[in-house]
Amino acid sequence: MPGEFELIDRYFARPRRGGAGGRGVVLGIGDDAALLELPPACDLVAAVDTIVAGRHFPPGTSPHAIGHRALAVNLSDLAAMGATPAWATLALTLPAAEDAWLSGFAAGLLDLADAHGVTLVGGDTTGGPLTISVQLLGHVPHGTALRRSGGRPGDLLAVTGTLGDSGAGLALATGRLQAPAGEHTTELLHRFEYPAARVAFGRGARGIASAAMDLSDGLTGDLPKLAAASGAAAHVEVARLPLSAALRDVASAQQARDWALAAGDDYELLLAVAPARWDELAALAAASALRLTAIGELRAGSGVAWTLHGAPYAAPAEGFDHFRGPSTQITV
């Protein structure tokens, strides 16, 4: 029933949303392709991430939270490059066009797009199993993007915010973790359902941090990539991992550490920074009321070593939380 699917159009083409008058939008939704104008002396930055029902969010997740997540995971990639997000396209495959679902999903996606000045400039909708791909485009002044490869031995390793909250939130959402409902459980569920991308901080960290990447797969999955790209070894003191009061309240110390290390979905930034530049990075974080924690350092060599109060620590394997399922970025 194509007619049913044509209804979808209206959810993504609201006044002052969906391509009308966005910055740099020469031609938005409604032709064969969008026409966009990059600011002068900038590189184009492009990221794409897919989220699939049952893999990246459990059944029963609100459509508003799904819409938020579909864009947030891409915003986080651009934050890690120090880029300014500008335009998004949406590839939405869904089994049926239900009004309540679509209006919630569109609101979740467009609310976050508005908050970051992002214009939805195109996309398509197709009948099929629920799969959502967002491609996000943005820009960064030539030669200034943060990369994974810029770290050097001697750099401090730092993370924004707190880690493990999203893992606990997912465990609460799926019933694997039982805790009395209250302020802390609400906060953890929110951290899972509404990840915040550190876009402003990433932009500010250009020229200060030597390397950055976003934490989508957990430190145990992501830090080895940054270390390898930078041609360095990494050492992390697990006791320094920033844990929220909410996480410490609902989980054992061991469980909290393991979620912080390996549950993923935190969408905080992992950065390398020369010790001489630490104060600048800390001031940037303070200015945006964002916690910044030094958790270790890069050293000569290769591989990642974890210690807990100085003693070797066996970090849980990436993806130990089986809900996440197989998912990987294409890497060289």
Q: By CB under 8 A, what part of segment 7-26 binds its own copies?
A: 8-9, 12-13, 18-20, 26
Asked if 5 touches its own copies (CB under 8 A), the answer is: yes
Q: Are strands 25-27 and 42-52 parallel, antiparallel or unpaired?
A: unpaired
Binding mask 161-200 toward its own copies (x if CB under 8 A, else -) reads ----------------------------------------
The three-state secondary structure class of 322 is: helix
**Residue 9 or 183 having the CB closest to its own copies:** 9
Euclidean distance between CA atoms 170 and 99, whole angstroms: 26
As measured in angstroms, the least distance from the Cβ of 252 to its own copies is 26
Stretch that binds its own copies, among 27-35, 173-181, 188-196, 260-268 (CB under 8 A): 27-35
DSSP lists the bridge partners of residue 286 as none
Euclidean distance between CA atoms 268 and 114, whole angstroms: 21
Euclidean distance between CA atoms 237 and 222, whole angstroms: 16
**Residue 188 or 263 having the CB closest to its own copies:** 263
Asked if 229 touches its own copies (CB under 8 A), the answer is: yes
Contact yes or no for 307/313 (Cβ under 8 A): yes
**Residue 45 or 292 having the CB closest to its own copies:** 45
Asked if 232 touches its own copies (CB under 8 A), the answer is: no
**Residue 251 or 262 having the CB closest to its own copies:** 262
Asked if 103 touches its own copies (CB under 8 A), the answer is: no
**Residue 9 or 279 having the CB closest to its own copies:** 9
Contact yes or no for 165/247 (Cβ under 8 A): yes
Asked if 213 touches its own copies (CB under 8 A), the answer is: yes
As measured in angstroms, the least distance from the Cβ of 251 to its own copies is 24
Question: In terms of C-beta density within 10 A (0-12 exposed, 13-18 middle, 19 or more buried), how is residue 96 classed?
Answer: exposed
Q: How far is CA 109 from the centre of its chain?
A: 14
303-82-57 Cα angle (round to 5): 70
Asked if 35 touches its own copies (CB under 8 A), the answer is: yes
As measured in angstroms, the least distance from the Cβ of 126 to its own copies is 5
Contact yes or no for 153/232 (Cβ under 8 A): yes
Length of the chain: 332
Asked if 135 touches its own copies (CB under 8 A), the answer is: yes
